[in-house]
């Protein structure tokens, strides 16, 4: 019986489209990455049929499951360190708590945790991996803070996480987070962009990216988004390929990423259009600009979105900007978050308004009727000028948002 489960092949059917066959392991990966719809029909060996939203093993991961009561998972990441990601996480938790929501903040920066100091916690949580191994859930790891409605799970000891990259551990971790007795669970991820961090980020209901409005930060932001998309494409290819080492090789040339992906999928006889639609539709990406001193970044952000539309077939959502305030730096310096709520300051008001907007987002995450690889193919030989270009600093023909007159010369 165990051997049958290991070798069972699954297929996904949706609107006369069929994706598969794939292993149980691959199906779990699709669920973890948000690539399954609740009304997908899952078949096992061409016989048993069930809606994905009612598969017990998949329920913690499939988004928009209206019949489920579970914690909403927010993941907060950034293209690089030093953008104020942890303080944005803390302020989002404070804003949710002020709205009478029960919040669990998870310090998921396993190699550079600092949220414990921000919340002035003296003792760490019990090691989460040991709790999961014993099937005890994570309730015991969610320790109270000095703020009403906010608990925290601190990062585990480094010495005990040698195999945290294992997919079964990641699945167990996310399932346990969604089963916490809370309204919202906020994951504060580290600046690294390995598969672990990207998978935790991608499995969330809401993906929040923190950046500063400088041009270099926008460039890092575009690179981070491309890594996120590439990770999902890798998952799709490895899940459906006969070659376990199948990987999407992104060429740094003028060909859009989504076009490169579609060509590789077509070469493997995969339904590229449907898979790429699912990938684009699984994102709920929102950007928060931190340490804002003026609003001059708005034009640069529009140009970045124009580039991403060209490269990926979808754009980022702007959640808002958090103004620079010295009291925020003081709160970080002294590990005293009460400074943020004790005094009226524009930064916390900004984050409070942003959080209210994010709370209202229910999904679906993208209008998939607008996604068409064919529309992108019409411009596969065009590069849009912008700061994301490797030759930007040395270029004398800078024309942001327009077709590059040099790289498209031929």
What tens-digit pLDDT sequence spans the chain (410 residues)? 333 344 568 889 888 788 888 888 788 878 878 888 878 888 887 677 888 877 776 766 666 555 456 788 999 998 677 788 888 999 999 999 999 999 999 988 766 667 888 888 878 888 888 888 888 889 999 999 988 899 999 876 554 444 445 667 777 888 889 889 999 999 998 777 777 778 888 888 889 999 988 888 888 888 899 888 888 888 888 888 766 666 777 777 677 888 888 888 888 888 888 888 888 888 888 999 998 888 788 888 888 888 888 788 778 889 999 998 888 877 777 777 877 776 668 888 899 999 999 998 765 444 444 445 455 444 444 556 665 565 666 665 566 656 665 544 33
Q: What is the pLDDT of residue 142?
A: 92
Instruction: Report whether 70 contacts 327 (CB < 8 A).
Output: no
Tokens describing residue 111: 């190699």
Structural domains in the chain plus CATH codes: 2-54 (no CATH), 72-211+325-360 (3.40.50.300)
Nearest one of 205, 203, 136, 113 to 167, comparing CA atoms: 203
**What is the three-class DSSP state of 64?**
coil
**What is the three-class DSSP state of 187?**
strand
Q: What is the pLDDT of residue 9?
A: 85
**Sign of CA pseudo-dihedral 43, 175, 274, 251:** negative
Helical axes 215-240 vs 257-267, angle rounded to 10°: 10
- Spatial distance between the Cα atoms of 196 and 78, rounded to a whole number of angstroms: 14
Burial (0-12, 13-18, 19+ Cβ within 10 Å), 99 = middle
DSSP 8-state secondary structure symbol assigned to residue 185? E
Instruction: Name every residue whose Cβ is closer than 8 Å to that of residue 187 and which is 6 or more positions away in sequence.
Output: 73, 74, 75, 76, 106, 108, 177, 200, 201, 204
Widest Cα–Cα separation across the chain: 67
In this structure, the number of other CB atoms found within 10 A of the CB of residue 218 comes to 24
Q: What is the pLDDT of residue 51?
A: 84
């Amino acid at each position: 019986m165990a051997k049958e489960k290991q070798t069972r092949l699954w297929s996904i059917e949706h609107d006369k489209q069929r994706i598969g066959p794939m292993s149980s392991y691959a199906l779990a990966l699709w669920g973890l990455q948000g690539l399954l719809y609740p009304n997908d029909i899952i078949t096992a060996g061409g016989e048993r049929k069930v809606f994905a939203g009612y598969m017990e093993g998949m329920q913690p991961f499939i988004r928009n499951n209206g019949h489920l009561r579970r914690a909403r998972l927010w993941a907060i990441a950034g293209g690089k360190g030093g953008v104020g990601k942890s303080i944005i996480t803390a302020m989002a938790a404070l804003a949710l708590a002020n709205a009478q929501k029960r919040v669990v903040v998870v310090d998921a920066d396993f190699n550079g945790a600092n949220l414990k100091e921000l919340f002035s916690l003296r003792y760490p949580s019990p090691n989460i991996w040991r709790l999961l191994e014993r099937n005890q859930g994570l309730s015991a790891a969610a320790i109270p803070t000095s703020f009403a409605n906010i608990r925290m799970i601190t990062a585990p000891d480094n010495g005990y996480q040698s195999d945290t990259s294992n997919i079964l551990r990641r699945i167990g971790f996310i399932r346990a987070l969604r089963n916490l007795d809370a309204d919202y669970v906020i994951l504060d991820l580290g600046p690294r962009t390995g598969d672990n961090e990207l998978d935790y980020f991608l499995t969330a209901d809401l993906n929040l990216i923190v950046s500063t409005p400088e041009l270099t930060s926008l460039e890092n932001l575009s690179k981070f988004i491309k890594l996120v998309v590439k990770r999902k494409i890798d998952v799709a290819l490895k899940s459906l390929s006969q070659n376990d080492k199948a990987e999407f090789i992104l060429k740094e040339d003028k060909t859009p990423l989504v076009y490169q992906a579609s060509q590789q999928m077509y070469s493997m006889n995969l339904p590229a259009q449907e898979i790429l639609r699912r990938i684009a539709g699984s994102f709920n990406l929102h950007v928060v600009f931190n340490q804002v001193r003026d609003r001059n970044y708005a034009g640069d952000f529009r140009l970045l979105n124009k580039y991403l539309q060209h490269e990926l077939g979808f754009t980022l959502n702007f959640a808002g900007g958090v103004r620079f305030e010295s009291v925020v730096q003081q709160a970080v310096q002294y590990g005293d978050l009460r400074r943020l709520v004790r005094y009226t300051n524009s930064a916390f008001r900004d984050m409070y308004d942003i959080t209210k907007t994010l709370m209202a987002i229910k999904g679906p995450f993208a209008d998939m009727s607008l996604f068409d690889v064919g529309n992108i193919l019409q411009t596969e030989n065009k590069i849009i000028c912008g700061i994301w270009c490797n030759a930007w600093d040395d270029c004398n023909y800078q024309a942001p948002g327009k077709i590059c007159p040099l790289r498209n010369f031929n």
